[in-house]
Amino acid sequence: MDLLWLVIPAAIAIFVLRTIVMARSLKAAAANPTLADARALRAAKRSLKAHRDRLNEAVAQPKGHLDAAKRLATVPKLHGVRSTRTSHPDESAVQPPT
């Protein structure tokens, strides 16, 4: 029960401090409305730069990945295609092992 009396005031203190910090940041944003836009623009630029870095890394990968993906994506057409294999004349005489 004693621990509860320590936790409750600590939670209230954290809540009050967070409220004060938020109020100060909102007051600063209201005093300078372009500051929030500048922050958002900086964040967008950072995000775009990170995206471009990942894109450049992907483009720099060997072309072999793309070729392998193309090979795996192609499905041969089986219906309507005749075999080009010719049988050997002696092939019919060979019996499979039993």
Q: Is residue 12 part of a domain?
A: no
Task: Say if residues 67 and 61 touch (Cβ distance below 8 Å).
Answer: no
Residue 25 has a pLDDT of 87
Q: Is residue 19 part of a domain?
A: no
Cα separation, 51 vs 57, in Å, equals 10
Q: Who's near 29: CB < 8 A, 6+ residues apart?
A: 35, 36
Among 80, 18, 4, 1, smallest CA distance to 26 is for 18
Q: Which domain holds residue 33?
A: 24-71
Q: Is residue 6 part of a domain?
A: no
Q: Is residue 14 part of a domain?
A: no
| pLDDT tens digits, one per residue of 4-37 | 888 999 999 999 999 999 999 888 878 887 877 8
Give the pTM.
Answer: 0.36
The 3-state DSSP class for residue 93 equals helix
Helices (H), the chain: 2-31, 33-60, 63-73
| pLDDT tens digits, one per residue of 37-74 | 888 899 999 999 999 998 888 777 766 677 777 777 77
Reading the block at residue 80, the tokens are 């309507």
Q: Is residue 48 part of a domain?
A: yes
Q: Is residue 81 part of a domain?
A: no
Q: Is residue 1 part of a domain?
A: no
